[in-house]
Amino acid sequence: MSWEKTLDSYGAVIEERLKKFLAEAVKEAGDYHPFIEKVYSDLEEFMLRKGKRLASCSTLLTYKGYTGKVDDKILDVCVGIELYRHAILVHDDLVDMDNLRRGGSTLHKKFMESYDPYTPRFGEGTAVFAGNIAYSLALKSIMNSGFSEEKLGKVLLLLSEGYREVNESQILDLLFEFKDIDVNEWCVMAGKRAASLFKVTILIGAILGDAPEKDYSMLGEAAENMGYSFDIQDDIIDSFAPEDQYGRPPCVDIATGKKPLHVIHALNSVEQEKSEALRCLLGKKNLNRGEIELVRTVLRESGGLEAAKKTSKKHAKKARELLTKTSLTDDVKEFFNSFIVYIEKSLDWYK
């Protein structure tokens, strides 16, 4: 089975569990206040939009890779992982002032549309609190999963550390929009962004699946490398993928003023004319077609695109080497290996 079919299969199982959990949460919210019920209902719609469920499937498959099974307990934990992931996304969309997520309005935009679309304070404020609610619901689902107190203590500690790290990285990501940075500083930030999410979700599966002690450090390092590779690929997609494939206009990150790795390489290029042309377009809202093509040309000709691809592939290779050495079952190793190979190959789509 391909990695995509595996994700679709297990993602559907997790989604059914998630639907049940969210339906109960909406009902409980309705007993409190009708508007709070609407908040929960909007959060439910936001979370149930079509997606790969990569984070929760990473937890589930790692657990299966050590236990050989999928049970109700791990499915409840996976529901918690989905809530945890979406708590981060709600706040991320808000800070980035994004209006779209998976073909629908972002949560703060939905709340603005419900009241005054010209006054953002209500929508933005409600989204902050809704993201916090999602995080608290994540803890509830995990704590009620039925695993031992000892295991749950380790999981919740790991989750809280991951949440802190992601928030720290998001602060740096925001800061970098307003200052010049180099590759090393980007690596510091990225180590607590996608790398942290992969590490948290995979290690939770290992803890709950009683992985042998020798596997933990290898899994953690493999997850970090996987996260770096994925993060770089995702940023390249934002710059180069057509809107009909990606679901949103290209170069959104650059129009916001963000500085992903391929942009940092281009900005630090020895070819000053190219780097200055790119710098002038950073943070420019509503880039037109000609400006988007100029950005892409600069990223190619400055060497920024190729340098970022090379780094992503280096991390992908390291992740595959480490995963091979673990005690995970062969089918789960093959899933992660196929996913990593996909990341590597997809980098060559953008030239």
Each residue's pLDDT tens digit, 203-215? 999 999 999 999 9
pLDDT of residue 181: 92
How is residue 81 annotated by DSSP? H
Q: Which residue pairs, CB below 8 angstroms and at least 24 apart, start in 100-109?
A: 100/247, 100/248, 101/46, 101/49, 102/49, 102/50, 102/51, 102/247, 103/49, 103/50, 103/247, 104/45, 104/46, 104/49, 106/46, 107/42, 107/43, 107/46, 107/131
In the chain, domain spans: 1-146, 148-351
pLDDT greater than 90 at residue 195: no
**pLDDT tens across 241-250, in order?**
988 777 778 9
Residue pair 76/146 in contact (Cβ under 8 Å)? The answer is: yes
pLDDT in tens, 84-134: 999 999 999 999 888 888 888 999 999 988 777 777 899 999 999 999 999
Share of the chain above pLDDT 70, in %: 99
Torsion of CA 286, 187, 321, 2, to 10 degrees: -20
Are 225 and 319 spatial neighbours (Cβ–Cβ below 8 Å)?
A: yes
Query: Over the range 222-247, which residues count as b (16 or more CB within 10 Å of their CB) and which as e?
Result: bbbbbbbbbbbbbbbbbbbbeeeeee
0.85 surpassed by pTM: yes
Q: Among 162, 172, 201, which residue's Cα sits nearest to residue 74?
A: 201
Intrachain domains 1-146 and 148-351 with the same fold: yes
The pLDDT of residue 31 is 97
Task: Specify the fold of 1-146.
Answer: Farnesyl Diphosphate Synthase (1.10.600)
Tokens of 15: 């989604």
Position 76 pLDDT exceeds 80? yes
Name the more confident of 114 and 320: 320
| Per-residue pLDDT at 103 | 81
Q: Which CATH architecture has domain 148-351?
A: Orthogonal Bundle (1.10)
